[in-house]
Amino acid sequence: MFTLSSVLYHRPNKEGKHQLAIRITKDRKSSYVFLGQYIDKSQWNKKAKKVKRNHPNSTRLNALLTKKMAEINTKLLTGDLEDKVSTAQDAHKDVLKKPEKNSFFTVADQYNEALKGEGKYNQYNTNVPRIKRFKEFLKGKDIRFQDITVSLLRKFKAHLIKIHKVSERTAINYLILIRTIYNRAIGDGLVDRKHYPFGKNKIVIKFPDSEKLGLSRDEVTKLEEVDLSNHPKMHHARNLWLFSFYFAGMRISDVLLLTWSDFNNGRLHYQMGKNDKRGSLKIPDKAQAILEQYKSEEGDNNNLIFPDLETVDDFTNKYLVQRKTSYAVKNNNKWLKQLGITLDIKQKLTMHLARHTFGALSGDRIPIQMLQKLYRHSDITTTINYQKAFIYKDADDALDAVLNS
């Protein structure tokens, strides 16, 4: 009979860290299944056989240990190993039996786990169901990279649009994910580039033009003036929306992470989470009025301005922070949607619409270089492509020149 145990392997690597492993023992002989995750010896609870909470990703690593233990144990209980092997070393070989070298879904899982390890919850949470849907399209079968052809991808795109009713833009996002994983496989030497199904005369990734719409000035005024004193959750969601708008469409993920120490001498100093760009803006009077509403909580909630992320106990855990942020945005969007209906705003009111609204109202009244600075775009091309959806003056003037000549 085999016994299993989660352990910290005794031999350290060059950095002095030890690898997490599952030990398989039979007849006093042991073998190890390594998990590819390294921690300091001081971060391992030998008695409890798990990662201590002083590790920033202890929850994720302990979940990985539990999952791997369950997978191996299931094989043992169902006889998948017992009937085939007689030693711990044989069991180890069977557990680590490698899948097809160029299996698409194996590389996809590795890619998603890497995202999770880097704390990129939003990407991970979006990718997993998309990979699952691709596998369902293939009737649950795995596929080699060289078998992902132009014809197959076109059929998959058509399937997404027809059966799952996704937009053209969303279908292209699925293809981008497949392309990303394919490029990863090429980089790892798992497939020859000659099989690559993307590029000229193959699958070309091109997003359709989309019209970005923002609120009108009158609709923003409605939001500012409506009395929500009897609806505290809706009132808070409205505050977040306006705060984002007042600071040039600041991303809501950055708004929720603002602390009181980010505000000094009448200015906001903060670092954008998406691209780590730093900047400073003066505090508009209307934004200051919102800050005053939360002053009584200064010093509480991890010194955050807004309480939405107050339950986060480890802000170095990026995955946890992004997950909690996603929940908070979803919850506030629910209240904004109700508010939009109450105010007879035709567009669906969401947090991200604050960014579009700033773009729409700025129009061509601000130099594009200043818009780039306000948006914190690394490349001015991004600003131009973003803003062109809101600028109609040149086209309108050209039309008038012809019709009124």
Residues present in the chain in total: 405
* Rounded-to-integer distance, Cα 189 and Cα 195, Å: 12
* Rounded-to-integer distance, Cα 14 and Cα 52, Å: 22
DSSP for 330-342, please give it.
Answer: HHHHHHHHHHHHH
Quick one: pLDDT at residue 351? 95
DSSP lists the bridge partners of residue 44 as 51
User: In Å, how far are 40, 138, 260, 261 from 268, measured between CA atoms?
Assistant: 38, 51, 9, 9
Higher pLDDT, 158 or 84: 158
Higher pLDDT, 98 or 123: 123
Higher pLDDT, 396 or 237: 237
Q: What is the pLDDT of residues 213-254, one digit of tens each?
A: 789 999 999 999 999 999 999 999 999 999 999 988 889 999
Q: What is the pLDDT of residues 67-102, one digit of tens each?
A: 888 888 777 665 544 444 455 555 555 554 444 567
Higher pLDDT, 124 or 248: 124
Q: Answer for the pair 44, 51: CB distance below 8 angstroms, yes or no.
A: yes
At 20, which helix (H) or strand (E)?
strand 18-26
Site of tokens 């391992």: 44
Closest CA to 176 of 116, 119, 101, 126: 126
Question: For 131-140, 167-176, 368-377, which range has the lowest pLDDT when averaged over its residues?
Answer: 368-377
* Percent of the chain's residues with pLDDT above 70: 79
Higher pLDDT, 276 or 208: 208
- The answer, yes or no, to whether residue 391 has pLDDT greater than 60, is no
Quick one: pLDDT at residue 384? 57
Domains of the chain in start order, with CATH, are: 3-95 (no CATH), 104-195 (1.10.150), 217-362 (1.10.443.10)
Quick one: pLDDT at residue 291? 95
Q: What is the pLDDT of residues 22-32, one digit of tens each?
A: 988 877 788 88
Question: In the predicted model, what is the mean pLDDT of residues 248-277?
Answer: 82
Q: Answer for the pair 47, 306: CB distance below 8 angstroms, yes or no.
A: no
Quick one: pLDDT at residue 126? 95
Percentages of the chain per state (helix, strand, coil), in multiples of 5: 55, 10, 35
* Rounded-to-integer distance, Cα 382 and Cα 378, Å: 8
Closest CA to 364 of 380, 387, 381: 387
Quick one: pLDDT at residue 299? 61
Residue 322 contacts by C-beta under 8 Å, 6 or more apart in sequence?
A: 119, 120, 121, 122, 253
- The answer, yes or no, to whether residue 131 has pLDDT greater than 90, is yes
Higher pLDDT, 294 or 3: 294
Q: What is the pLDDT of residues 289-323, one digit of tens each?
A: 999 999 876 666 678 999 999 999 888 898 999 99
Report phi then psi at 27, rounded to 5.
55, 40
Sign for the pseudo-dihedral over CA of 203, 205, 209, 214: positive
Higher pLDDT, 313 or 148: 148
Mean per-residue pLDDT over the chain, rounded = 84
Give the pTM. 0.61
* Rounded-to-integer distance, Cα 302 and Cα 259, Å: 8
